[in-house]
């Protein structure tokens, strides 16, 4: 086999493994992503998974990266649609898009945050960059009200994490049974008050 054909074969195999993993995580969540199971469903050997992705964590990271890409495109579209609107309206639109995505793709979305590498392994830099793109969107929007770049990064992180926490605990239904209208009220409350506080501080 020529090197080019060999490369193509490997790409197709890689694609098939990722599509299989995506199907499993959609149906069963992170717990379903086990090497033996994926190999069987994709009709290849476990060795092939290790050969292409290093280990099962490598395959899971790639599967989660696809979910994050999809989520990133969705939030990017919401951001473009909200261009020119005020900070509160812009942040609320993005946060509600995040809530809707997480609600509709709950198992895949949870897998992104539930997957933990063994404590001895560091989180790979390229996947960290991938996640930071969502934060960069928010940081850009805060430029008008928070001058100092470091404070802006703290603010973007805090706002993203807050919305994430509201969505996560709402979906868990451990405090109250899940009710999307209640999550939306919490998101609207948090963003409206935080933006008031940010603008009040900026003027003061």
Chain residues in the site for its own copies (CB under 8 A): 113-114, 116, 123, 127-128, 131-132, 135, 151, 154-155, 157-166, 168-170, 172-177, 182, 185-187, 189-190, 192-198, 200-201
Q: Minimal distance in Å, beta carbon 149 to its own copies? A: 14
Q: Which is nearer to its own copies, 80 or 200 (CB)?
A: 200
Q: Which is nearer to its own copies, 51 or 161 (CB)?
A: 161
Q: Minimal distance in Å, beta carbon 92 to its own copies? A: 13
Q: Minimal distance in Å, beta carbon 65 to its own copies? A: 12
- The answer to whether 70 and 98 are in contact (CB under 8 A) is no
Q: Minimal distance in Å, beta carbon 1 to its own copies? A: 38
Q: Which is nearer to its own copies, 14 or 72 (CB)?
A: 72
Q: Which is nearer to its own copies, 81 or 116 (CB)?
A: 116
């Amino acid at each position: 086999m020529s090197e080019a054909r060999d490369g193509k074969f490997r790409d197709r195999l890689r694609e098939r493994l990722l599509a299989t993993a995506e199907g499993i995580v959609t149906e069963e969540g992170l717990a379903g992503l086990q090497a033996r199971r994926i190999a069987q469903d994709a009709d290849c050997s476990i060795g092939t998974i290790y050969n292409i992705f290093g280990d099962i964590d490598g395959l899971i990271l790639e599967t989660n990266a696809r979910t994050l890409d999809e989520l990133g495109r969705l939030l990017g579209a919401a951001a473009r649609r909200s261009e020119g609107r005020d900070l509160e309206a812009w942040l609320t639109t993005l946060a509600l898009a995040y809530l809707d995505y997480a609600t509709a793709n709950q198992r895949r979305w949870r897998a992104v945050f539930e997957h933990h590498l063994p404590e001895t392994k560091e989180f790979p830099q390229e996947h960290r960059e991938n996640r930071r793109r969502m934060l960069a969107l928010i940081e850009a929007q805060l430029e008008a009200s928070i001058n100092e770049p470091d404070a802006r990064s703290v603010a973007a992180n805090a706002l993203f994490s807050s919305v994430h926490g509201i969505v996560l605990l709402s979906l868990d239904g451990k405090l109250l049974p899940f009710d999307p209208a209640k999550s939306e009220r919490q998101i609207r409350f948090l963003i409206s008050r935080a933006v008031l506080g940010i603008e009040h501080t900026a003027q003061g």
